[in-house]
Amino acid sequence: MTDLADSPAVRRLADWDHERLEGLADEYETPLYVMDLGRVKENYTRFSEAFPDAEVMYAAKAHTGKAVLEAVLEAGADIECAAWGELQRSIDAGADPNTLQYTAVNPPDHDLNYATDLAADAPGLTITIGATDTLDRLAERGYDGRVAIRINPGIGTGHHEKVATGADAKFGIPYEQVPEVADRVREEFELVGLHAHAGSGVLTEGLEEHCQAIERVGEMARRVGDADLEFVDVGGGYGVPYREDEDPLDLEKTSNMVRDAVGELEATLKLEPGRYVVADAGLILSEVNTIKEAPDTTVVGIDASLATLIRPAMFGSYHPMYNVSAPGRDPHPVTVGGPVCTSADVFAHDRPVARPERGDVLAIGNAGSYGYELASQFHSQPRPAEVALEDGEARIVRRRESLEDVTRVEQ
């Protein structure tokens, strides 16, 4: 069991060992992803201990790196997957396929073929469906195994409208159709659970709305007969504070509110944190290459870009930033951007940072979730290396790509 005695509820960027980070940037070059696997295990354990009578899975889509998957498996997590590649990568990391849960969202034929073939040898695999079409397609493949129904609770929550899945028609069976679909699943498959996911990035102040969605899931479970269900899965979406003045998620309050919202159930409660487990365990190191005094701001150019971390461009997300080379310099408001030819390639506008100079290393915090997962090769930029920290040691877990990696698939 991970010792949580010295593990704060959130790791702020200023809490990292900045001399160590500067050394990593010097040894492995930049841009560089850094993941602290010990912190990954601490975060999972803390969340799991807050729900002692529930099953806490890890949502792989937050970070599917093999080292991270191995860490959460070592911490005792099962894994929830949203695509066939996540299923395979979880197995490659050591997961028993009988423990995996595949949440199919408009799954391509290849995904369903993979999942049903896998289930033929691993009957414990659970396939979660969000459309009756998926039931038809499973039946066409001769599948009659474990099925969970994804509910659309009609309530979306989270840090941005693009992640408020609970109110998006793309996700889940419309609420009032669930009892009829449950009857069909019982006739043709093994109905093992209900599932819902309201949104992503929920902090304490957003719990009330989040729990309104969970309350509807509990009500539906009782309508379809929770005594006959193995589990009721209320998803993930639990956030971490990205801004320095935001408080961490109050886990005790979260646990009490979720339990109250779902109500009395004979089925096991499941949760699927992803971001909470990995976000503050990861950061990006990037070198300053340009300082430009413009009329309205000082522009700081770095070698990371939206191809390295797209969240600021995609969601307008705030990520903390720190000058690890000279944290003691006076702060100066700067606009920090990368080398990509679009105005969207900006990490911060007029952000107070210890005055950067060319050659300094900046750290971009809370990059452990949906960071490397969304990295691209835009502008023919090879993706960065990733270093894992564990037991005081650093090791490369993903090598830096070369241009040959970028062009390898061309014919």
The reply to whether 237 sits in an annotated binding site is: yes
Q: Which pLDDT tens digit goes with each residue over 241-266?
A: 999 999 999 999 999 999 999 999 99
- Catalytic residue (choose from 341, 343, 359, 410): 341
The reply to whether 223 sits in an annotated binding site is: no
Sign of CA dihedral 109, 113, 114, 115: positive
| Strands 268-271 and 298-302, bridge-based pairing | unpaired
Q: Which pLDDT tens digit goes with each residue over 162-195?
A: 334 444 567 789 999 999 999 999 999 999 999 9
What is the rounded average pLDDT of the residues 42-61?
Answer: 97
In terms of Cβ atoms closer than 10 Å to its own Cβ (0-12, 13-18, 19+), residue 394 is middle
Annotation says 341 is catalytic: yes
The reply to whether 301 sits in an annotated binding site is: no
Residue position matching structure tokens 């900006």: 346
The reply to whether 274 sits in an annotated binding site is: yes
Instruction: Say what the pLDDT of residue 155 is.
Output: 64
Amino acid in the structure at residue 223: R
Band of pLDDT at residue 2, cut at 50, 70 and 90? low
In terms of Cβ atoms closer than 10 Å to its own Cβ (0-12, 13-18, 19+), residue 17 is exposed
User: Which pTM value belongs to this model?
Assistant: 0.94
Name the token pair of 173. Answer: 């069976």
Cα atoms in the 13 Å half-sphere on the side-chain side of 36: 24
User: Distance between CA 51 and CA 62 in Å, rounded?
Assistant: 20
The reply to whether 272 sits in an annotated binding site is: yes
User: Distance between CA 87 and CA 85 in Å, rounded?
Assistant: 5
> Across the chain, what does the average pLDDT equal?
93
User: Distance between CA 79 and CA 66 in Å, rounded?
Assistant: 13
The reply to whether 216 sits in an annotated binding site is: no
User: Distance between CA 227 and CA 110 in Å, rounded?
Assistant: 34
Domains of the chain and CATH, by start: 96-272 (3.20.20.10), 280-407 (2.40.37.10)
Q: Which pLDDT tens digit goes with each residue over 89-116?
A: 999 999 999 999 999 889 999 999 999 9
Q: Are 90 and 69 in contact (CB under 8 A)?
A: yes
